A and B are shown apart, each in its own frame.
Chain A
């Protein structure tokens, strides 16, 4: 095909993709998310409480650590399917807690699996405070 036609087409496609990208991903940092949760919770996130919450069962079959292991710097394994789950701690996986919609989706799903309800802002703040305190 004629390169004089192709080049502007490619440039237009690239520009469109670049412009549309921010709309589909609500970018954030773990620090920003923790600040938001701290503002919603009665008190700022407590790492110790977050660890206890993460490794305890809450009346159902699984705890958070059933899939994510009790050391979220490491990769986990899905309790039902066996699929590898990338580390949850931001220090081990920079992609974690950088997409607000994705974070909300997984809190919704996983809190329902572990607690049979949504997690409170205090629980989320504690959990994120603990995950962010972990270093390799």
Chain B
């Protein structure tokens, strides 16, 4: 900087440099983010190992914190199945699930089933009953039967493919919203 340059010019240049760096970093975040969202970190390894071995790793945001606490507290009787974990793992799961639980829905759905929560029911209101009972779906909890990105926790509408059940009934493609 020479003596003729106004004293604030270099500060302005520095500000521009910092701003462009921050914008560049922000631009790369969605690529690295879990489920296409920069805000959501991936679930801990224990959640994948203990929970996603039997079903897709349900997003924590789909139930209120009180439901998650109750679910982890009764894993030895988990919807008809023994899914028990040791106490250290249970503590880790409860902490992550409650910290990332739904902020909007505070009321616990019946039986703490996320498939009976108001958001889930609203999103799936156009799916015919025959789809749920079909052999390739079996259960509303079998997200990846229709959501090809369910395992990643994304659940984008464009990635929905409802499987055909029988030649007689052919559910509408993309019936979920």
Q: Are B138 and A109 in contact (CB under 8 A)?
A: no
Does B82 lie within 8 Å of A78, measured CB to CB? no
A83 touches B55 (CB 8 A): yes
Q: How far is the CA of A110 from the CA of B82 in the complex (A)?
A: 7
Asked if B142 and A113 make an inter-chain contact with CB atoms under 8 angstroms apart, the answer reads no
Tell me if B's interface is mostly helix, strand, loop or mixed: loop
| A135 within 8 A of partner (CB) | no
Q: Mark B20-39, 1 if CB is under 8 A from A, else 0.
A: 00000000000000000000
Query: For chain A residues 75-115, which have a beta carbon within 8 Å of chain B?
Result: 78, 80-83, 108-110, 112-113
Contact of B145 among A82, A108, A112 (CB under 8 A): A82
State whether B82 touches A82 (Cβ < 8 A): no
Q: Say whether B139 contacts A109, CB under 8 Å.
A: no
CB of B60 within 8 Å of the partner chain: no
Q: Which residues of A lie under 8 Å from residue B139 when comparing CB positions?
A: 80-82
| Pair A108/B84 contact, Cβ less than 8 Å | yes
Q: Which of A6-63 contact B (CB under 8 A)?
A: none
A81 to B80 alpha-carbon distance, docked (Å): 11
Would you call B83 and A78 a contact (CB within 8 A)? Answer: no
> Which residues in A have their C-beta under 8 angstroms from that of B54?
78, 80-81, 83
Q: Which of A82, A108, A113 has the most CB of B within 10 A?
A: A82
Across the interface, A83 reaches (CB within 8 A) one of B76, B80, B142, namely: B142
Residues of B within 8 A of A108 (CB): 82, 84
Q: Which of B124-157 contact A (CB under 8 A)?
A: 136-139, 141-142, 144-145
List chain B residues, Cβ under 8 A from A113: 81-82
Instruction: Tell me the bound Cα distance from A20 to B137 in angstroms.
Output: 40
A82 touches B137 (CB 8 A): yes
Kindly list chain A residues whose C-beta atoms are within 8 Å of the C-beta of B144. Answer: 83
Taking the closest CB of chain A, its distance from the CB of B6, in whole angstroms, is 32
How many Å lie between the Cα of A109 and that of B76 in the bound state?
A: 8
Closest B residue by C-beta to A106: B53
Q: Contact check, A109 vs B137: say whether CB atoms are below 8 A apart.
A: no
Provide the residues of chain B in CB contact with A112, threshold 8 Å: 76, 82
15 A-B pairs, CB-CB below 8 angstroms? A78-B54, A80-B79, A80-B141, A81-B138, A81-B141, A82-B137, A82-B139, A82-B145, A83-B56, A83-B144, A108-B82, A108-B84, A109-B83, A110-B82, A113-B82
Where the two chains meet, the residues of A that have a C-beta atom closer than 8 Å to any C-beta of B are: 78, 80-83, 108-110, 112-113
Q: A80-B54, A80-B141, A109-B84 are in contact. List 10 more A-B contacts (CB 8 A).
A: A80-B79, A81-B54, A81-B55, A81-B142, A82-B136, A83-B54, A83-B56, A83-B142, A109-B82, A110-B82
Interface pairs A-B: 3 shortest CB-CB: A82-B138, A82-B142, A112-B82
